Amino acid sequence: MPDKDIEIVARNKKARHDFYIEEVYEAGIILKGTEIKSIRSHRVNLKDSFAIVENGEVYLHNMHISPYKQGNRFNHEPERKRKLLLHKSQIRKLIGYTNQKGYTLVPLTLYLKKNICKIELAVAKGKQKHDKRRDIAKKTAKREMEKAFNRRQKGDY
């Protein structure tokens, strides 16, 4: 997302750690008035959220949007399910993926694009514990190599 009109509101940091990301889709969200006001003030949590395809439509569950402070009786329910806006061909693809064993729909980032709220939805497959350990070991080894390289460049070897 190199676009300068994008303001990232929330990221799901655990998603890339817990899942292999296969494909990424950009989707719109149907929101209420107080929800978008809370999103603009960055009061959102994507941590345990996921999406499900129901009756040919995609819904996002467990995304927590804090109630708007100035909202009165019109305030929203923080963890209600929200409908995602995708093209019919994209929904058909997602149905095909989710029918396969082990695939799930996980939100990666929530952002404002030209003042419109969008979400990056990923088709993901869960990682096993040993896969997570392997990724951590690779990161550590890469960091060690960079440190050694930097020391060698400075002449500290």
**Per residue in 14-60, pLDDT tens?**
888 888 898 999 999 998 888 888 888 898 998 889 999 999 899 99
Torsion angles phi and psi, residue 150, rounded to 5: -65, -40
**136 within some domain:** yes
The arithmetic mean of pLDDT across residues 67-82, rounded, is 76
**Does 140 lie in the same domain as 76?**
no
Residue-level pLDDT at 157: 55
**Does 92 lie in the same domain as 37?**
yes
Q: Which domain holds residue 140?
A: 128-157
**Does 156 lie in the same domain as 104?**
no
Q: Taking the CA of residue 72 as centre, how many other CA atoms within 13 Å lie in the half-sphere pointing to its CB?
A: 0
Look at residue 156 and tell me whether its pLDDT is greater than 70: no
CATH number of the domain within which 107 lies: 2.40.280.10
Tokens of 18: 């817990």
**Does 92 lie in the same domain as 42?**
yes
Residue-level pLDDT at 29: 93
Residue-level pLDDT at 2: 56
Element (H, E) at 15: helix 13-18
Give the chain's domain count.
Answer: 2
User: Where do we find the tokens 């929330």?
Assistant: 10
**Does 96 lie in the same domain as 70?**
yes
